[in-house]
Chain A
Amino acid sequence: MGVAKRVLASLFLIGAIYSTPQMAVQTASQTIVEEGADGMTRAVNRIIGGIITYARWPGSAPASRTLCVVGTPRLTDRIAPALPGNSAAITVRRMSAAAATGGDECDILFLGRMAAADRQRLIGWVRGRAVLTISDDDPGCLYGAMFCLATKPAGLSFSVNLDAIGRGPLRIDPRVLKIGQADGGVP
C-alpha cells in the first residue's frame, strides 16, 4: 500500500512536470484511489465529505447534518463521509425513497442504484429544497443529481450538474464547481 502510494505520487509528480504548460486543458480530474479493499470506500467518503464541506445551506448551521442513503450505493456499501476539521457531524441513515420524500430530515440525499421512477420522484421532490444530491449511478450526470461520482481508470472522479445546482437554494463553492466541470460531466 505504501509503495503504491509512493509510486502514484511520483507518477503524478512526473505528470505534473511534463504537463505543466498544458495544465489548463487537463481534463481528467480524479481523486487518487488507494489500492486495497478500503481504498475505494475511503475515496468515496473523502469526495462526499469534500462536497459537503463546500456546500452552504441557507440559514444558520446546525450541529449535525443528515445524509439519507436511498437505493444501493454502487461504489461502496459503507457510506460515512470524512469531513476535514471541525465541520458539522454527519448522521448517515438508510431509507426508502418514500420515507425520504415523506419526512423533512434529509439534508443530503445519496442516490444509489434504484428504480428510474423512484429517482425521478426524488429529483422532483428535491427541486426548490435545500437538499444536496449526490449519485454514484449516473456517470454522465444526466438524471438530475447535483454531483455524480464515477470511476475512471486512474481513480475516482465527480462531475457537476450546474442546472440542478442552479435550481436549488444551496450555494456551492465555485472552486468545487470548477473541479467538477473540468471533467466535462455536464453537457
Chain B
Amino acid sequence: MTRPASGTTLQKLLSRFHFGITLFAVALSGLTILLAGITAMRGYADRNIELAAQLGAYGVEPALVFNDASAAREGLAPLVRIRGIAKLRVLDDRGQPLTEWISPSEDPAPLLTRAFFPKPYVVTIRRNGSAIGTIQVWGDSSTLIDYVRIGLLAGLACLIVTALGTIVMARRFEYELVKPLGEIATVAHDVRLHRRFDKRVQPLGIAELDRLGGDINALLDELQGWQGTMESERALLAHRASHDALTTLPNRAAFDEQLAQRIAAAERSGSRLALLFIDADNFKAANDRFGHAAGDAVLVALSSRIRETLRERDFAARIGGDEFVVLVDPVDLAVEPQTIADHLRTAVSQPVTLPGGELYRPTASVGVAVFPDQAGDAAALLTAADAAMYADKLSNRTRS
C-alpha cells in the first residue's frame, strides 16, 4: 500500500487533486472552444476569400474579354482593401498571367497561413458559358491571428481564474472537511494523552465523519465503562488487601503502615500517641464450645465495640485471630493511658448474643504503651504494648 509522504496534509492533497481536475476541465473546454472557434473562423475566412474571388471575377471579366491588363488591375482594386488577402492573380484562357497583386503588408503568422490557406482559392471566369480566364486568391492569417491571440489570452485568464478558484476551494475544503477531521483528532488525542474519557466528538454535519465520530464516541463509552469498572475493582482489591474480611477492620499490613506514618507525624509535631493491644480472653475455649460461627460472631461484636469507642482520628485494626490494636492519636497529657485501657476493657465486656441464642460475656486483656514516653519507635511501642497486654492477662487470670 502506498501512503502519501508524511509531510503532506489532507488539505494539500485535496487542493492538488482539485487543481489537477479543474485544470484538466478548463484545458479541455478551452481547447475545444479554441478549436471550434478556429474552425468557425476558418470557415468565415474561406467564405471571405471566396466572396473576394467572386467579386474579383466579376470585376476583371470585361478586362479578360478585352485582354486588357490595366482594366484587370482596376477590376481588382476593390479586393486590395479586403483584409486577409495575401496575393491575387488573374490568368487568361491560355493560362498566361494578365495581372498580379501582392499585399504590401507582411503576413503576421506565416505558419498559420500555411496551415489554413495552403492553396489559393480559384474561380474560373466565364462569359456566355465559356471559360475566359481564372482568378486566384491567396489568403493570409491576418483575419485569424486576432482570434488566436484573444483565444490564447482568454486561455491564460482562465488558467489564472482556475488557480485562484482552486485556492478558494482548497480553503473551503479545509473548513468543511479538514476542520471536522481535526476535531476528531483532537478528541482522540485528548483521550489518549489526558485520559479524558468523558470527551465526545460533537456532530460534524458530514454523514461519513459523523459515522466515524459516532463509532469513536461508542468506543469512548465502552472505554469509560471499562475504566470505571477497573477503578472500582482496584479500589475493592486495595480494600481487600488492607482490611480484614470478617470484621472489615484494617488488617496487620494496613496497621503497620498507619503506625509508621503516625509515629513519624508525632515525632515531627512532638505530640503523643497511645497504642492499645487488645486480646480476647479464653477465645479458643469459647470457639471450641460454641463453634466457629459463634467465634466469628464474637469477633465481629468485639470489633464493632472497639470501633464505637474510637474518636475520629483514632485507628483500630485486627492483627491476628483474636488480637486487635487501637491507635489513640493524639493523647492529651492530662489523660492517663490506663484510663483509656479501662474504658476499652469495659466496652468490650458487654454480653453478646450468639447465633445459637446463648448469651456470652467476652472479656479482653488490654495493654497500653505511649509514644514517646515508653518507646522511641514503632517496634518498641508494639513490644511495650504487647508486654503490657500480657501483664494485664496475667492479672486477669489471677483475678478470675
**Interface residue ranges, A against B (CB under 8 Å):** 5, 9, 12-13, 15-17, 19-21, 23-24, 26, 28-32, 43, 46-47, 49-50, 53-54, 83-87, 158, 173, 175-176, 178-179, 182
Identify 20 new A-B residue pairs, CB closer than 8 A, beyond the known A32-B68, A85-B126: A9-B97, A12-B69, A12-B98, A15-B69, A16-B69, A16-B99, A20-B101, A26-B73, A30-B68, A31-B68, A46-B67, A49-B65, A50-B66, A84-B132, A175-B62, A178-B74, A179-B63, A179-B71, A182-B70, A182-B74
- A-B residue pairs in contact (CB < 8 Å), sample of 12: A12-B69, A13-B99, A16-B69, A20-B73, A26-B70, A29-B71, A46-B67, A84-B128, A85-B129, A87-B128, A176-B62, A182-B70
Centre residue among B67, B129, B130, B132 by max chain A CB count within 10 A: B67
On whether the beta carbons of A12 and B75 are closer than 8 Å, the reply is no
A142 nearest CB across to chain B (Å): 22
Q: Does B164 contact A (CB under 8 A)?
A: no
Nearest neighbor of A87 in chain B, beta-carbon distance: B128
| Chain B CB within 10 Å, residue with most, of A17, A176, A179 | A179
Q: How far is B100's CA from A117's CA once the two chains are assembled, in angstroms?
A: 47
Please give, as numbers and ranges, the residues of chain B lying within 8 Å of A54 by CB-CB distance. Answer: 62, 65
Report Cα–Cα, A126/B74, bound state, in Å.
Answer: 32
Could you tell me the distance between the alpha carbons of A144 and B251 in the complex, rounded to whole angstroms? 156
- Is B69 touching A32 in the complex (CB atoms < 8 A)? yes
Is there contact, CB below 8 Å, between A23 and B74? yes
Whether the pair B66, A31 counts as a contact (CB closer than 8 A) is: yes
Chain B neighbourhood of A86, CB < 8 A: 128-130
B73 with A16: CB separation less than 8 A: yes
Of the listed residues A32, A43, A47, the one surrounded by the most CB atoms of chain B closer than 10 A to its CB is A32
Q: How far is the CB of B319 from chain A (nearest CB, A)?
A: 132
- Partner of B73 from the list A9, A23, A83, A178 (CB cut-off 8 Å) is A23
Contacts of B80 in A (CB 8 A): 20, 23
Give the 6 A-B residue pairs with the shortest CB-CB distance, closest first. Answer: A85-B128, A85-B130, A50-B65, A85-B129, A12-B69, A84-B127
Given contacts A54-B65, A179-B66, contact A24 B129 (CB under 8 A): no
Q: Which of B61, B65, B75, B99 has the most CB of A within 10 A?
A: B65
| B66, B73, B75, B129: the one within 8 Å of A19 (CB) | B73
Q: Are the C-beta atoms of A50 and B62 separated by less than 8 Å?
A: yes
**Which B residues are closer than 8 A to A by beta carbons?**
58-59, 61-63, 65-71, 73-77, 80, 96-102, 104, 126-130, 132
In the bound complex, how far is the Cα of B132 from the Cα of A179, in angstroms?
18
Please report the C-alpha to C-alpha distance between residue A12 and residue B100 in the assembled complex, in whole angstroms: 9
Min CB gap B184→A, angstroms: 80
Measured CB to CB, the closest approach of chain A to B73, in angstroms, equals 5
In the assembled complex, the CB of B318 is this many whole angstroms from the nearest CB of chain A, namely 132
Give the distance to chain A from B100, nearest Cβ to Cβ, in Å.
Answer: 5
Q: Which residues of A contact B130 (CB under 8 A)?
A: 84-86
Closest partner residue, chain B, to A174 (CB atom): B62
- What's the nearest-Cβ distance from chain B to residue A113, in Å? 23
Q: Are A9 and B66 in contact (CB under 8 A)?
A: no
**Minimum distance in angstroms from B78 CB to a CB of chain A:** 10
